[in-house]
Amino acid sequence: MKTKLISLESADSLRDTEDEIVSVILSGGIVLYPSDTVYGILCRADSRESVQRIGRIKGYTSSRPFILLIDSIAMAETLADCSNPEVNGIMKYLWPGKLTLILPALDECPEWVRGEDNTVALRHPADSLSGLLLKRCGVPLVSTSANRSGEDAQFNISSVAESIIKAVDIVLDAGTLPRSSPSTILKLLRGRTQLLQLI
Protein backbone atom coordinates (compact mmCIF):
# COMPACT_ATOMS: atom_id res chain seq x y z
CA MET A 1 0.00 0.00 0.00
CA LYS A 2 1.38 3.40 -1.00
CA THR A 3 1.70 5.99 1.74
CA LYS A 4 -0.94 8.72 1.53
CA LEU A 5 0.19 12.29 2.25
CA ILE A 6 -2.36 14.68 3.75
CA SER A 7 -1.48 18.33 4.21
CA LEU A 8 -2.87 19.97 7.35
CA GLU A 9 -2.11 23.48 6.14
CA SER A 10 -5.85 24.21 6.15
CA ALA A 11 -8.57 23.15 8.59
CA ASP A 12 -10.68 21.83 5.71
CA SER A 13 -8.08 19.18 4.83
CA LEU A 14 -8.48 17.51 8.22
CA ARG A 15 -12.26 17.70 8.17
CA ASP A 16 -12.35 16.18 4.69
CA THR A 17 -10.07 13.26 5.59
CA GLU A 18 -10.89 12.71 9.27
CA ASP A 19 -13.02 9.61 8.63
CA GLU A 20 -10.31 8.05 6.48
CA ILE A 21 -7.60 8.67 9.07
CA VAL A 22 -9.70 7.14 11.84
CA SER A 23 -10.59 4.16 9.66
CA VAL A 24 -6.91 3.47 8.93
CA ILE A 25 -6.04 3.58 12.65
CA LEU A 26 -8.94 1.34 13.68
CA SER A 27 -8.05 -1.17 10.96
CA GLY A 28 -4.54 -1.49 12.40
CA GLY A 29 -2.74 1.08 10.26
CA ILE A 30 0.10 3.42 11.21
CA VAL A 31 -0.19 7.21 11.00
CA LEU A 32 2.67 9.72 11.06
CA TYR A 33 1.36 12.89 12.70
CA PRO A 34 2.37 16.18 14.35
CA SER A 35 2.24 15.60 18.11
CA ASP A 36 2.35 18.35 20.71
CA THR A 37 6.17 18.16 20.73
CA VAL A 38 7.62 16.50 17.58
CA TYR A 39 6.48 14.41 14.62
CA GLY A 40 5.35 11.01 15.84
CA ILE A 41 3.86 7.73 14.68
CA LEU A 42 0.84 6.13 16.26
CA CYS A 43 -1.42 3.09 16.12
CA ARG A 44 -4.11 1.49 18.23
CA ALA A 45 -2.59 0.08 21.40
CA ASP A 46 -4.77 -3.04 21.54
CA SER A 47 -3.33 -4.40 18.26
CA ARG A 48 -0.21 -6.45 18.94
CA GLU A 49 0.60 -6.60 15.23
CA SER A 50 0.38 -2.82 14.83
CA VAL A 51 2.56 -2.15 17.88
CA GLN A 52 5.14 -4.66 16.67
CA ARG A 53 5.09 -2.95 13.28
CA ILE A 54 5.94 0.37 14.92
CA GLY A 55 8.84 -1.36 16.68
CA ARG A 56 10.17 -2.55 13.32
CA ILE A 57 9.76 0.93 11.82
CA LYS A 58 11.80 2.34 14.71
CA GLY A 59 14.48 -0.28 14.13
CA TYR A 60 14.12 -1.98 17.50
CA THR A 61 15.59 -5.47 17.65
CA SER A 62 13.49 -6.50 20.66
CA SER A 63 10.10 -5.57 22.04
CA ARG A 64 9.89 -2.59 24.38
CA PRO A 65 7.10 -0.55 25.97
CA PHE A 66 5.67 2.54 24.32
CA ILE A 67 3.73 5.50 25.67
CA LEU A 68 -0.04 5.12 25.43
CA LEU A 69 -2.16 8.17 24.68
CA ILE A 70 -5.48 8.26 26.54
CA ASP A 71 -8.31 10.78 26.49
CA SER A 72 -9.43 10.74 30.11
CA ILE A 73 -8.70 9.54 33.62
CA ALA A 74 -11.51 7.02 33.08
CA MET A 75 -9.58 5.47 30.17
CA ALA A 76 -6.40 5.46 32.27
CA GLU A 77 -8.24 3.52 34.96
CA THR A 78 -8.95 0.69 32.49
CA LEU A 79 -5.20 0.20 31.98
CA ALA A 80 -3.44 1.10 35.21
CA ASP A 81 -3.87 1.13 38.97
CA CYS A 82 -4.83 4.73 39.64
CA SER A 83 -6.17 4.16 43.15
CA ASN A 84 -3.30 5.98 44.87
CA PRO A 85 -4.61 9.43 45.94
CA GLU A 86 -1.29 11.01 44.91
CA VAL A 87 -1.63 9.56 41.40
CA ASN A 88 -5.23 10.71 41.12
CA GLY A 89 -4.33 14.19 42.28
CA ILE A 90 -1.51 14.50 39.74
CA MET A 91 -3.81 13.35 36.94
CA LYS A 92 -6.51 15.85 37.85
CA TYR A 93 -4.05 18.72 38.25
CA LEU A 94 -1.62 18.14 35.35
CA TRP A 95 -3.68 16.34 32.68
CA PRO A 96 -4.22 17.01 29.87
CA GLY A 97 -0.67 18.13 29.23
CA LYS A 98 2.92 17.12 28.53
CA LEU A 99 3.15 14.63 31.35
CA THR A 100 3.65 10.87 31.05
CA LEU A 101 2.89 8.77 34.11
CA ILE A 102 4.35 5.28 34.53
CA LEU A 103 1.97 3.27 36.70
CA PRO A 104 1.33 -0.35 37.72
CA ALA A 105 -0.50 -2.07 34.85
CA LEU A 106 -3.80 -3.85 35.35
CA ASP A 107 -4.43 -7.34 34.00
CA GLU A 108 -6.63 -5.76 31.32
CA CYS A 109 -3.67 -3.80 29.92
CA PRO A 110 -2.23 -5.50 26.81
CA GLU A 111 0.99 -7.28 27.74
CA TRP A 112 2.80 -6.01 24.62
CA VAL A 113 2.69 -2.39 25.85
CA ARG A 114 3.84 -3.10 29.40
CA GLY A 115 7.31 -2.60 30.82
CA GLU A 116 9.36 -5.43 32.28
CA ASP A 117 8.27 -4.35 35.78
CA ASN A 118 4.60 -4.72 34.75
CA THR A 119 4.05 -0.99 34.35
CA VAL A 120 2.41 1.07 31.65
CA ALA A 121 3.23 4.61 30.49
CA LEU A 122 0.19 6.86 30.01
CA ARG A 123 -0.19 10.37 28.67
CA HIS A 124 -3.28 12.54 28.19
CA PRO A 125 -2.20 15.03 25.49
CA ALA A 126 -3.67 18.52 25.30
CA ASP A 127 -3.27 19.17 21.56
CA SER A 128 -6.44 19.20 19.48
CA LEU A 129 -5.34 16.63 16.87
CA SER A 130 -4.46 13.95 19.42
CA GLY A 131 -7.68 14.69 21.27
CA LEU A 132 -9.72 14.34 18.08
CA LEU A 133 -8.12 11.03 17.11
CA LEU A 134 -8.54 9.61 20.61
CA LYS A 135 -12.19 10.66 20.76
CA ARG A 136 -13.00 9.28 17.32
CA CYS A 137 -11.07 6.01 17.77
CA GLY A 138 -12.29 5.36 21.29
CA VAL A 139 -9.23 3.27 22.20
CA PRO A 140 -5.79 4.06 23.66
CA LEU A 141 -3.17 4.84 21.02
CA VAL A 142 0.52 3.97 21.07
CA SER A 143 2.64 7.00 20.19
CA THR A 144 6.38 7.41 19.67
CA SER A 145 8.65 9.85 17.86
CA ALA A 146 9.00 9.42 14.08
CA ASN A 147 12.68 8.54 14.02
CA ARG A 148 14.73 5.38 14.07
CA SER A 149 16.37 4.27 17.30
CA GLY A 150 19.35 6.47 18.15
CA GLU A 151 18.41 9.26 15.74
CA ASP A 152 17.03 12.71 16.55
CA ALA A 153 13.32 13.49 16.74
CA GLN A 154 12.11 15.76 13.94
CA PHE A 155 10.14 19.01 13.85
CA ASN A 156 9.70 19.11 10.06
CA ILE A 157 8.17 16.40 7.89
CA SER A 158 10.89 16.89 5.27
CA SER A 159 13.47 15.79 7.85
CA VAL A 160 11.76 12.50 8.69
CA ALA A 161 13.64 9.54 7.21
CA GLU A 162 12.30 8.31 3.88
CA SER A 163 12.25 4.76 5.23
CA ILE A 164 9.76 5.84 7.89
CA ILE A 165 7.61 7.78 5.42
CA LYS A 166 7.34 4.71 3.19
CA ALA A 167 6.61 2.38 6.11
CA VAL A 168 3.48 4.15 7.39
CA ASP A 169 0.01 4.27 5.85
CA ILE A 170 -0.78 7.98 6.20
CA VAL A 171 1.40 11.04 6.72
CA LEU A 172 -0.19 14.16 8.21
CA ASP A 173 1.98 17.10 7.20
CA ALA A 174 1.64 20.22 9.36
CA GLY A 175 4.83 21.85 8.12
CA THR A 176 7.44 22.91 10.66
CA LEU A 177 6.37 22.41 14.26
CA PRO A 178 7.19 25.09 16.82
CA ARG A 179 9.86 24.27 19.37
CA SER A 180 7.97 23.66 22.57
CA SER A 181 8.70 23.03 26.21
CA PRO A 182 9.86 19.48 27.01
CA SER A 183 7.53 16.85 28.38
CA THR A 184 8.01 15.11 31.71
CA ILE A 185 7.99 11.41 32.62
CA LEU A 186 7.12 10.47 36.20
CA LYS A 187 7.20 6.94 37.59
CA LEU A 188 4.83 6.42 40.50
CA LEU A 189 5.06 3.04 42.24
CA ARG A 190 4.13 2.09 45.80
CA GLY A 191 4.02 5.67 46.94
CA ARG A 192 7.41 6.57 45.42
CA THR A 193 7.62 9.34 42.84
CA GLN A 194 10.61 9.22 40.45
CA LEU A 195 11.39 11.83 37.81
CA LEU A 196 12.83 9.79 34.96
CA GLN A 197 13.47 12.44 32.33
CA LEU A 198 12.40 15.54 30.52
CA ILE A 199 11.92 14.84 26.81
Residue 52 vs residues 28, 49, 76, 91: alpha-carbon distances, Å: 11, 5, 22, 29
Q: Look at residue 151 and give its three-state secondary structure.
A: coil
| Per-residue pLDDT, 193 | 58
Domain spans of the chain? 4-198
- Using DSSP's 3-state secondary structure scheme, residue 68 falls into strand
Per-residue pLDDT tens over the stretch 139-184? 999 999 999 988 999 999 999 999 999 999 999 999 999 987 767 8
3-state helix, strand, coil in the chain (%, to 5): 30, 25, 40
Q: What is the pLDDT of residues 43-73, one digit of tens each?
A: 999 999 999 999 999 999 788 889 999 999 9
Q: Is the pLDDT of residue 17 over 50?
A: yes
Q: Which residues are CB-neighbours of 69 under 8 A, at least 6 positions away?
A: 42, 123, 124, 125, 130, 134, 140, 141, 142, 143
CATH code of the domain made up of 4-198: 3.90.870.10
Q: What is the pTM of this model?
A: 0.93
39 within 8 A of 30, measured Cβ to Cβ: no
